[in-house]
Chains A and B, each alone.
Chain A
Amino acid sequence: MKTTTGLRSDVQALAAIFWKGLKHHIRYPGEFAIFLMLPFLFTFLILGMGNAVGGSNAAIYFASRTGTTNIVIYEILGSAVWMVSWVVIEDVGTGIRDEQIKGTLEQNFLAPVRRFTLLVGLSLTDVVITSALFLIVVGVAVSIVMPAGFLTIIPAFLMLLLGLVPLFGIGFLFAGFVVRFKEPYIFTQIVNLVFATLTGTYYPVTFLPYWVQLISGALPQTYVIADMRRIMLANQALVNLYGSLFVLISLALAYPLIGYAVFRRIERKAGVTGEFSKY
């Protein structure tokens, strides 16, 4: 039997995991509607709350604190990034558990495919779909609210893609916790809600106490959201954001390594305790 080796075998396995995921999504199409609606719903929720609190001066107060009057784009960027990062963390973290519940995890682990490829592959479909949905959501919002800035979506999207890499690292960490403790949604949902609070999803992180801002500084979404707003709402060029780009690249190098090391450690322990076949 002729087999592939090296990078080719990894790419072939990734492609197979991607298509498997895509076919599952197409056969359960309801999720697409949720992904498309959520950023708009959250944005309208925030707009409604802002109006209720700030009354007729709400937009003026908002501009004085954020430097922009374009509330819709400001909030929809936060919502859309949150949606994408939620999917990455949840899918890497819970993908393993979903396979375990389906009974297919051991079948994947029996194959000579590398664990790293499997972990990345498990969320690849959702990341691609959600990133495409991000483009649709932000694209629709920008076309309606500020059509002149449509092309700024491109550098903003590149920023998002860079920010996804460290998120995979955080996802690997949670995948390990899920293998050990089961109950995936306890971890991923709490973390995703905490991340939304800490990363400036709906307000500038400067509103937070200084010590909380230190934690925010360790989260990639903080930089992605802030820089997207600078690109799209303050016309900043990507090259001018080299400081946060440097931080994001550093996080992109460090987090996947740390997350994967933790996952492998827990996975080896799971081999000793026989956790993989426990539900």
Chain B
Amino acid sequence: MNPVEVTRLCKTFETREGSLFRKVPKRVVAVDGIDFSVPEGEIFGLLGPNGAGKTTTIKMLCTLITPTSGDALINGFSIAKDQQKVRENLGVMLTGERTLYWKLTGQENLEYFAALYHLDSTSAKNRIPELLKLVGLDERQDTLVENYSTGMRIRLSFTKALLNDARVLLFDEPTASLDPQSSHLIRDIIRDLKQQGHAIILTTHNMEEADLLSDRVAIIDQGKIEALASPSELKQKVKRTDIIEIEARNLNERTAETLQSLSEVSKVALTSSAHPGETELLRVHVEKGKEVLPRILEFLVRKQVTITKVSFIEPTLEDVFIAETGRSLRD
């Protein structure tokens, strides 16, 4: 049996919205019957935009949210029935820097959580300095967390997930808000953990990170897994299509939607621009790109769009996402 087995996992939130006396019940399907498994020594990436259901999935796996239906087994323990055992078998890093006690030092934070994970004092004494050194915080272990930089806090939060040396590790956006150097360090550690045989689930909306780290990626959108394969297999799917990236001003959703009506264009999506507000970035999936390009440019110019750069690019996981969902990861 794999360390992680997820079967038809669903989560529907029922809320009431509206003014005080006119509350209307609303059902939001956050996760819609997903299945996957993660063997030992694999990094499994959950890739999707904000609100796709990644964090809800992680929170169900770590028992913070109760599934509406379906189940998942962590090292053979059910998240619905054996929650205490599941917690013993998991190391979890949730996103954000406010997951630590700011009035305690780095070392005190780890000592506290080591006790909550029932590490005996000798194991904790050996493990904590080892982990602090791993993330480069050994020289700041006695500094209050309130005096740490954001990157240091996230590194410490990451370390906390490794305290109990669990076989299954869940990392929710582990490099969000980190500088490139710290991101690099965390990614290297995640690769090492994989080599040691840990089963790792990683959520991210950073496609490069998913591509770099994951052995397999599940593209998740509106609570459903739209595609699941290795990054290279997923990219292979869109390889037969030419991808044109257009950087431009005065580009909006409506223009992108209208461009989609051209018969040669299979998918169009606005993606994250390097200069948001100034220029927008448009990805266009077409067959025979070089033949179609003049028509696309002419169409955009007619719509008063000022084109600043045009290039043909190699497909990324974002293109896989666009091909599967018709939308970009920034939506």
Give me the interface of A with B, judged by CB distance under 8 Å. 1-5, 9, 12-13, 15-17, 19-20, 23-24, 27-28, 102-104, 106-114, 268, 271-274, 276-277
Interface flag for B100 (CB, 8 Å): yes
Give me the interface of B with A, judged by CB distance under 8 Å. 13-14, 56, 59, 62-66, 68, 84, 87-88, 90, 92, 94, 96, 98-104, 108, 111-123, 127, 144, 160, 164-165
Chain A to chain B contacts (Cβ below 8 Å), 28 pairs: A1-B119, A1-B123, A2-B120, A3-B118, A3-B120, A3-B123, A3-B164, A9-B118, A12-B118, A16-B115, A16-B116, A20-B101, A20-B104, A23-B104, A103-B96, A104-B101, A106-B64, A107-B113, A108-B116, A109-B64, A110-B62, A112-B88, A112-B116, A271-B63, A271-B66, A272-B65, A273-B14, A276-B64
Chain B residue with Cβ nearest A24: B103
In whole angstroms, how far apart are the Cα atoms of A103 and B119 in the complex? 23
In whole angstroms, how far apart are the Cα atoms of A12 and B123 in the complex? 14
In whole angstroms, how far apart are the Cα atoms of A20 and B116 in the complex? 12
In whole angstroms, how far apart are the Cα atoms of A212 and B88 in the complex? 49
Residues of B near A109 (CB, < 8 A) are 63-64
Chain B residue with Cβ nearest A9: B118
Residues of B near A273 (CB, < 8 A) are 13-14
Identify the 9 closest CB pairs spanning chains A and B, nearest first: A103-B98, A16-B115, A111-B116, A271-B66, A112-B87, A9-B118, A112-B88, A113-B116, A3-B118
In whole angstroms, how far apart are the Cα atoms of A13 and B113 in the complex? 9
Residues of B near A113 (CB, < 8 A) are 116-118
Residues of B near A9 (CB, < 8 A) are 118
In whole angstroms, how far apart are the Cα atoms of A274 and B56 in the complex? 9
In whole angstroms, how far apart are the Cα atoms of A104 and B123 in the complex? 24
Interchain nearest-CB distance for B210 vs A (Å): 23
| Docked-complex contact B116 and A13, CB < 8 angstroms | yes
The answer, among B59, B100, B117, B164, for a CB contact under 8 Å with A277, is B59
In whole angstroms, how far apart are the Cα atoms of A70 and B280 in the complex? 80
In whole angstroms, how far apart are the Cα atoms of A162 and B121 in the complex? 32
In whole angstroms, how far apart are the Cα atoms of A152 and B119 in the complex? 43
| Docked-complex contact A1 and B115, CB < 8 angstroms | no
Most B C-beta atoms less than 10 A away, residue of A20, A106, A108, A277: A20
| Docked-complex contact A106 and B118, CB < 8 angstroms | no
Chain B residue with Cβ nearest A14: B115
Q: A104-B98, A107-B99 are in contact. Are A1 and B112 (CB under 8 A)?
A: no
Chain B residue with Cβ nearest A109: B64
Residues of A near B164 (CB, < 8 A) are 1, 3
Interchain nearest-CB distance for A272 vs B (Å): 5
Interchain nearest-CB distance for B107 vs A (Å): 12
Residues of A near B119 (CB, < 8 A) are 1-4
| Docked-complex contact A24 and B94, CB < 8 angstroms | no
Q: A23-B103, A106-B99 are in contact. Are A268 and B113 (CB under 8 A)?
A: no
| Docked-complex contact A2 and B123, CB < 8 angstroms | yes
In whole angstroms, how far apart are the Cα atoms of A114 and B88 in the complex? 11
In whole angstroms, how far apart are the Cα atoms of A4 and B121 in the complex? 9
Interchain nearest-CB distance for B12 vs A (Å): 10
